Amino acid sequence: MGVPVLRPLVLVSLLCLLPSVAAAESTDPDSAGENTEKLHPRAGSFSVAALFGANYGDEVGLRGNRLMFGYGGRAGYSFETTPLYLGVTVVAYEDEIEYDYTSETGTEHYVNVDIDVGAEVDAGPLILRPHLGLGVMIGVYDSPEGGNSAIVPRLSPGLLTRYPMGPVDVGVDARLELNANSPTTVSALGSVGVAF
């Protein structure tokens, strides 16, 4: 008599366990997704950032290397199934320069526009993005004797290091500015951005 009574109890117990087993199985892919998210915290997201910083090098004028301060922005997309990043960066610089030894000054304006291709790499609490920018430098020169302007192609390899704090991140973007027919310069730009 004990066996027939135990059979329904065993069946009821098994039926009660099935939902918990199914729930455990459904959480396994989610946990794998969480691991993937940790490896690529911004995977499958758009991001925008404000940029501000300085460029050091020699462009035009008599005094050689100098520091130019600039500002701009960046927008891009981090792909979900690969560490690939694709974006656009625009940064403007302006400075007063001496055109001759009479101490007359003019103004030099630069706008750098780059299409950036890079890769997101997790490095502990930081995210590293080595990237290559391909674009143009627009230069406008105004002096007491007149002005001039030019558009030249440019190549800009760099490294963005950023620290995410939820949807917001802060970081530094270091770039080597290789402009056609112009001396090479370097820039360091602070970055404050948001991903969504």
Task: Give the residue among 53, 57, 79, 19 at the shortest CA–CA distance from 174.
Answer: 53
Confirm if 54 and 188 have CB atoms less than 8 A apart: yes
Give the count of beta carbons closer than 10 Å to the beta carbon of residue 60.
17
pLDDT score, position 1: 47
CA distance 176 to 166: 29
Provide the residue-wise pLDDT of the chain in tens; the chain has 196 residues: 444 544 554 444 444 444 444 444 444 444 444 444 444 556 678 999 999 999 998 655 545 677 889 999 999 999 988 999 999 999 999 887 766 666 677 788 889 999 999 999 999 899 999 999 999 999 888 877 777 888 999 999 999 999 999 889 999 999 999 988 778 889 999 999 999 8
Taking the C-alpha atoms of residue 106 and residue 46, their distance in angstroms, rounded to an integer, is 40
Q: Which amino acid is at 23?
A: A
Class of CATH domain 41-195: mainly beta
Q: State the pTM of this model.
A: 0.73
Q: In angstroms, rounded to a whole number, what is the distance separating the alpha carbons of residues 64 and 53? A: 20
pLDDT at 103: 66
Which pLDDT belongs to residue 137?
92
